[in-house]
Structure 1
Amino acid sequence: MKTETGIRVSLVMARTLDGRTARSLNDPLDWTEAADKAHFSALTRRMGLVLMGSKTFDAMGGPLPGRKNVVFTRFPESRVSVSGDLAFTSGSVDAVLDGLAAEGYGEAALIGGSRLNTAFAKAGRIHELFVTVSPLIFGAGPGLFSEHIPMDLLLVNAEPLGFGSLLLHYRVRHGGCHDA
């Protein structure tokens, strides 16, 4: 679904009980349970477009099949797109989203990492959050955002997922982020 300002962006991430999205910046993305992986796959395939940072892309080991993958990186010229469903960019959040909207995309899944999530939040371009809380504690590692980002959220739904995880769906109020 397109919004008045272009693409509707949903942050889609898993985190631990202590708020960590990985054990470290180079952590493989292998710690969520099967039900979360199935939810992630179905949701991002339905959206058809995933947006991620280069460390997230590298941790995944390649593009997600069945959807367009856009990887934000400071050095896109050093990356090789292996298919039409994979693009590397150093463009601004607004410029990239405007270009993708012009291509006909109406919604996208923002899948990390924390610095890219922060850039989207600062631009006021996150509309929804789908956050799976996993029954783990890492004690250290990156969070959803790389710096303090105040957001006013409305809980849309909360449901058990798998064997101990909880899927939380929030809508961002007032069209985006605001300062506290």
Structure 2
Amino acid sequence: MKVILIMVQSINGKVRLIINKNQPWSSQEDKKHFSKVTKEIGVVIMGRKTFEEIGKPLDKRKNIVLTGEPEKYQKLEKTYQGSLFFTDEKPESLLNRLEKEGYQTVALIGGPTINALFLEKNLIDEIYLTIEPVIIEGDLSLFSYVQGTYQFKLNEVINLNNDAILLKYQKQQGR
């Protein structure tokens, strides 16, 4: 099972605004890239806070939300039956289950707590990171809660527009 982390950050390394968290600051090109790739993959995994910021499941994708209290979301899960699932499964068992369901790749879409959880278990194979040419008053970075050192290799740099770039990294073998 391949895990691709897909995130966007400002040039000062932040992934979320402190104030007015729903104010858009990423480019249309990044949004189109994110939508295209995650729809092709078919399943996204995120944390509860990320889901709450988005406010609803992403269309045409299986949305899996990691939370310590999945039972609190049973009613919401039923509202979006078949596209939204809340779970407290460990990352390894979740990935095994998804693989048995026929998925070959998953998109990990944050936040920093979930990113760190998967990274520290050596489960992230690739990172697609868009760098937007903005400086924002943010409170979180891509891996705010990571301990240790993890090596990735830059495989590709794509210009999304005149100012934003997409960096594609791959996990170093043996790490």
Q: Do the two structures share a fold, i.e. TM-score over 0.5?
A: yes
The answer for unaligned runs of 5 or more in structure 1 is 1-6
Alignment counterpart, residue 41 of structure 2, candidates 38, 41, 47: 47
- 1:106-154 CA-to-partner distances (Å, cap 9, x unmatched) read 1011000000000000111000000000001124310011224522111
8 A contact 2:44–2:107 mirrored in 1:
yes
> What is the percentage of aligned positions where both structures have the same residue?
35
Match of 1:122 in 2: 120
Provide the aligned C-alpha RMSD in A: 1.6
- Displacement of 1:175: 5.4
For 2:160, give the aligned amino acid. L
Match of 1:72 in 2: 66
Moved segments of 4+, more than 4 Å = none
Judging changes above 3 Å, is the alpha-carbon distance between structure 1 residues 68 and 26 closer, same or farther for their aligned structure 2 residues? farther
For 1:129, give the aligned amino acid. I
162-171 or 113-122, larger mean C-alpha shift: 162-171
Judging changes above 3 Å, is the alpha-carbon distance between structure 1 residues 88 and 105 closer, same or farther for their aligned structure 2 residues? same
Point out the structure with the larger helix share. Answer: 2
The answer for unaligned runs of 5 or more in structure 2 is none
Q: Secondary structure at the match of 1:91?
A: coil
- Displacement of 1:29: 6.3
TM-score by length of 1: 0.89
Alignment counterpart, residue 90 of structure 1, candidates 88, 91, 98: 88
Judging changes above 3 Å, is the alpha-carbon distance between structure 1 residues 159 and 36 closer, same or farther for their aligned structure 2 residues? same
TM-score by length of 2: 0.92
